[in-house]
Amino acid sequence: MHLLGAEEDDERRGRLIDLVAADATQEAADLLATFAAKADDPQEAKRARRQLHILRAKGLRGTVHQDMEAARALVTGVDGDACFAINIIIPRLPTFDFANLLLHYGNGLRDGFVMKNLPSRSVDELVEKIRKGSGNLAVFVPMPLAARLIDEAVQSAKPMTLSDSDVAQAMALAEPVLAKARAQAFVEPAVESPAETTPEEVDSLLDSESFESWFFEARENTVQESLVLLDKPIRGKGKAAYKTAANRLATATKNLCKRLRADDEPARIERMLRHQARLFECLENSERAKLCRKLAAEVRQPESVFLAQMALRSLLAALEAPPEAERGLRLVEARDHLRARLSGDERDHRKVDVIHLDISAVAHVELNMRNREEPSSRRAPLGTIESAALAVGDAFVEHVMGASGGAGFSRAVEEILDRHDLFPPQARVSIAGETMMDIADFAKGICRDLCPHRCLGDPKGDGRIPYYTGGLPWEGPAPSKRRPPTGRA
């Protein structure tokens, strides 16, 4: 459509119509049908319809798409961690480009990716996959609103995130359509004033679809510190015990609310509620949108009912939370994530690559556990944790496996946390020390004493088997003495 609209020569435009028809695909039929419906020149419309008749004989029926020339934005609802995605679909007919941005109401941009030259059928399937997989709202919004959401996120994004290559590519692809959208007028409903709110009103929202994940995680320090009030055994029975438990829970809830306000959580929740209100407006659910705007104003109040109900529900969920997964399982998950991130590094891996992957996984487990203890408003993106963990693996190979024999590794880990702006500055030395202790325990207890592959003693050896194993290399069979087949594993 863009080429047909931009071509000024009548003859060349006619040849373009014939060229599109020669493609003989559903996308070509849709494009011709849309062009015929919009064309100002009757002869060109007739030429397009003639080609449509030919395609119809081949079983291809064109459908008019009113939005084939316009970019679209599919926005998901915000989850309990304040994350949401904006998916920009850009027509490059007969195909489409796709830019995804993962955003966070706290630290801005978290991740992004780009897909190019997608046929319309693939775009439709991708949209359906996002809608089913988001576990939340997934709504097409006006492009000016999408631009506003992205601009608000960029303002609070850390420089390191903006320099990430995946994020930079997604932003670069989306920027031309965002610039056009910013020039368009877009008026949002007025901000609601704080109004009386009841616990039942809050619960009706938090119990509804799209709000299931709105609670503070059990592992967060703020929640754990408030749970201490509920740990003491209750003496007594019957009504007296029930009253004691209820009073302790009320005290723990107030304590948690106080801690949440100290971390400025109400500001983050306000933005989350306003986000949901925007999407409900796009769905023409004005009643639910108005409720979200009302609660967004209320959550900043000193005695917010909404904040108290979220705190209460989080404490109750934490009391019922299952025990944390064993460290071995977390290590398997970390190893799989990091190996997938390194998947572009296709080569015959040596055992030094196994060392790098495993040390990075150990660091990832520790850093991710510490990250989950942070308040949601200060939690780092998973991509940042992965980058830092891989950098720790690099530092281990350089300083411990290298000629220095470990000198400089401690300072290198601290610098990695500084460079990635992870955790409060006053906590970084301690966290770096804990991470290094985990790595030292792993190197001695697993690499030297347990694992049959002996990577530390043979860094240049063939590492394909332990690198690509589906679980943990030291839990599988010992490596075969036969030479593995050549080629990539």
Question: Could you tell me which residue, 371 or 23, shows the higher pLDDT?
Answer: 371
pLDDT at 50: 87
69: its two tokens: 């020339």
**Residues 335 and 442 grouped into a single domain:** yes
pLDDT at 482: 40
**Residues 103 and 49 grouped into a single domain:** no
Give the CA-trace dihedral at 373, 379, 381, 384, to 10 degrees.
Answer: -80
pLDDT at 66: 52
Q: Which segments within 4-82 are labelled E, that is strand?
A: 72-76
pLDDT at 9: 66
31, 74, 116, 237 from 95: Cα distances, Å: 10, 18, 8, 70
CB neighbour burial string for 328-366, b if at least 16 within 10 angstroms, e if fewer? eebbbebbebbbeebeeeeeebbbbbbbbbbbbbbbbbb
203: its two tokens: 């619960």
**C-alpha to C-alpha distance for 51 and 53, rounded to whole angstroms:** 5
Cis peptide before 94 (omega within 30 of 0): yes
Contact present, 76 and 137 (Cβ < 8 Å)? yes
Q: Which of 320, 351, 370 is the last residue of a domain?
A: 320
What would the pLDDT profile of 301-330 be if each residue is shown by its tens digit? 999 999 999 999 999 999 887 766 566 788
Amino acid at 412: A
**Residues 386 and 260 grouped into a single domain:** no
- Is 486 domain-assigned? no
pLDDT at 251: 94
* CB neighbour list of residue 82: distance below 8 Å, 6 or more residues apart: 104, 105, 106, 268, 271, 272, 376, 377
**Residues 331 and 383 grouped into a single domain:** yes
**Residues 466 and 336 grouped into a single domain:** yes
**Residues 273 and 316 grouped into a single domain:** yes
Q: Which of 165, 182, 199 is the last residue of a domain?
A: 182
**Residues 355 and 459 grouped into a single domain:** yes
pLDDT at 148: 94
270: its two tokens: 């306000």
385: its two tokens: 């944790």
**C-alpha to C-alpha distance for 351 and 271, rounded to whole angstroms:** 48
**Residues 82 and 160 grouped into a single domain:** yes
Answer yes or no: is pLDDT of 16 > 50: yes
Reported as a pLDDT band with limits 50, 70 and 90, residue 244 is confident
- Is 199 domain-assigned? no
**C-alpha to C-alpha distance for 283 and 171, rounded to whole angstroms:** 26
Contact present, 194 and 296 (Cβ < 8 Å)? no
Considering the chain, what is the average pLDDT of its residues? 85
What would the pLDDT profile of 88-130 be if each residue is shown by its tens digit? 999 876 688 999 999 998 878 888 999 998 988 888 899 999 9
Contact present, 55 and 32 (Cβ < 8 Å)? yes
What would you report as the CA-atom Rg of the chain, rounded to the nearest whole angstrom?
Answer: 28
pLDDT at 134: 81
% of the chain exceeding 70 in pLDDT: 91
Contact present, 357 and 467 (Cβ < 8 Å)? yes
Q: What distance lies between CA 463 and its chain's CA centroid? A: 32
Q: What distance lies between CA 245 and its chain's CA centroid? A: 38
**Residues 355 and 469 grouped into a single domain:** yes
Question: Could you tell me which residue, 284 or 344, shows the higher pLDDT?
Answer: 284
Segment holding 390, helix H or strand E: helix 382-395
Residue 28 belongs to what domain range? 2-57
pLDDT at 485: 41
- Is 375 domain-assigned? yes
Reported as a pLDDT band with limits 50, 70 and 90, residue 476 is low
* Cβ atoms within 10 Å of 5's Cβ, excluding its own: 13
3-class SS at 45? helix
Question: Could you tell me which residue, 291 or 341, shows the higher pLDDT?
Answer: 291
272: its two tokens: 């989350």
- Is 67 domain-assigned? no
- Is 63 domain-assigned? no
What phi, psi does 425 have (nearest 5°)? -55, -40
Question: Could you tell me which residue, 20 or 374, shows the higher pLDDT?
Answer: 374
- Is 203 domain-assigned? no
Q: What distance lies between CA 262 and its chain's CA centroid? A: 26
At what angle are helices 265-282 and 286-298 packed, to 10 degrees? 170
Dihedral sign (CA 136, 267, 157, 313): negative
Answer yes or no: is pLDDT of 469 > 70: yes
- Is 189 domain-assigned? no
Reported as a pLDDT band with limits 50, 70 and 90, residue 65 is low
**Residues 414 and 352 grouped into a single domain:** yes
User: What is the count of structural domains for the chain?
Assistant: 4
pLDDT at 346: 59
Answer yes or no: is pLDDT of 397 > 50: yes
Answer yes or no: is pLDDT of 67 > 80: no
- Show the DSSP H helices in 263-285 as ranges: 265-282
71: its two tokens: 């970019």
- Is 238 domain-assigned? yes
**Residues 331 and 314 grouped into a single domain:** no
**C-alpha to C-alpha distance for 164 and 152, rounded to whole angstroms:** 18
DSSP state of 485: P
Give the CA-trace dihedral at 371, 375, 377, 382, to 10 degrees.
Answer: 20
pLDDT at 44: 83
Q: Which of 320, 345, 372 is the last residue of a domain?
A: 320
**Residues 165 and 246 grouped into a single domain:** no
